[in-house]
């Protein structure tokens, strides 16, 4: 079995689920910083299955960046792949600013043409970069429970340690609500909703987040 067979099966299953439950599902294929040798093949799959529900390419893995002088990539391959993706009209997501500093988001946007940021919590540490994200309508994929379990935010309950999603909601920044990895966090999207409602989110907040996905 090759990766094409796996993706084909996934897309068939999602299409069947859409018909059965009246919902919509799309796929973003993810590159890994530590496995840049896979990246061109991921782009190939994005292009091959573009008409069957694959809508974007992502880059995840250790950011490995603690200061502006350091490199945001493990190799030049990722930049080339994402530039090619942009030229092919494939949407681009980059995991950034989950653990790394706010400059990671700026590099993701400028170097990779990122339209979406996976996590991005620490972008609030730099108001100038945060303002850039607002002006360019950068989307943030927020995972409330996961952000606490990974140590990226310090508390889910302490008022003085507000989760970044609350600031995003106040500023009407584009964001979505995600469960990240249910097999590890043991949470579902409904659990994330319940948590956010306990923080004061309304049905309008949740609806807006879903439409922004």
The two most distant CA atoms of the chain are separated, in Å, by: 51
Summarize the confidence of residues 13-24 as an average pLDDT. 96
Phi-psi category of residue 169: left, alpha or beta, with phi > 0 → left and psi -120 to 50 → alpha: alpha
Domains, the chain, ordered by start? 28-212 (3.20.20.140)
Residues 94 and 30: their CA atoms lie apart, in Å, by 9
Q: Quote the pLDDT of residue 160.
A: 59
Q: What is the dihedral of CA 25, 211, 83, 146, to 10 degrees?
A: -80
Mean pLDDT of the chain: 92
In degrees rounded to 5, what are phi and psi of residue 24?
-130, 135
For 136-161, what is the mean pLDDT? 86
The radius of gyration computed from the CA coordinates of the chain, to the nearest angstrom, equals: 17
**Tens digits of per-residue pLDDT, 155-171?**
777 765 789 999 999 99
Phi, psi of 23 (to 5 degrees): -115, 180
Residue 58 has pLDDT above 60, yes or no: yes
Catalytic residues, which ones?
Answer: 98
Model pLDDT, residue 74 = 62
- Mean of pLDDT values over 96-121: 93
* pLDDT beyond 60 at 67: no
């Amino acid at each position: 079995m090759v990766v094409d067979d796996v993706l084909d099966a996934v897309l068939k299953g999602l299409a069947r689920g859409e018909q059965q439950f009246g919902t919509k599902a799309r796929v973003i294929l993810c590159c890994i910083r530590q496995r840049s040798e896979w990246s061109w093949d991921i782009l190939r799959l994005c292009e091959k299955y573009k008409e069957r529900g694959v809508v974007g390419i992502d880059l995840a893995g250790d950011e490995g960046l603690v200061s502006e002088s350091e490199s945001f990539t493990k190799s030049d391959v990722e930049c080339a792949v994402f530039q090619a993706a942009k030229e092919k009209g494939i949407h681009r997501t980059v995991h950034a600013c989950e653990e790394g500093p706010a400059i990671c988001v700026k590099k993701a946007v400028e170097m990779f043409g990122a339209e979406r940021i996976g996590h991005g919590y620490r972008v609030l540490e730099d108001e100038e970069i945060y303002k850039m994200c607002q002006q360019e309508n950068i989307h943030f994929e927020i995972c409330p429970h996961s952000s606490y379990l990974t140590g990226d935010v310090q508390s889910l309950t302490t008022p003085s340690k507000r989760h970044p999603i609350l600031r995003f909601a106040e500023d009407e920044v584009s964001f979505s609500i995600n469960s990240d990895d249910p097999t590890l966090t043991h949470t579902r999207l409904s659990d994330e909703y319940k948590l956010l409602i306990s923080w004061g989110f309304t049905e309008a907040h949740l609806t807006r987040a879903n439409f922004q996905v």
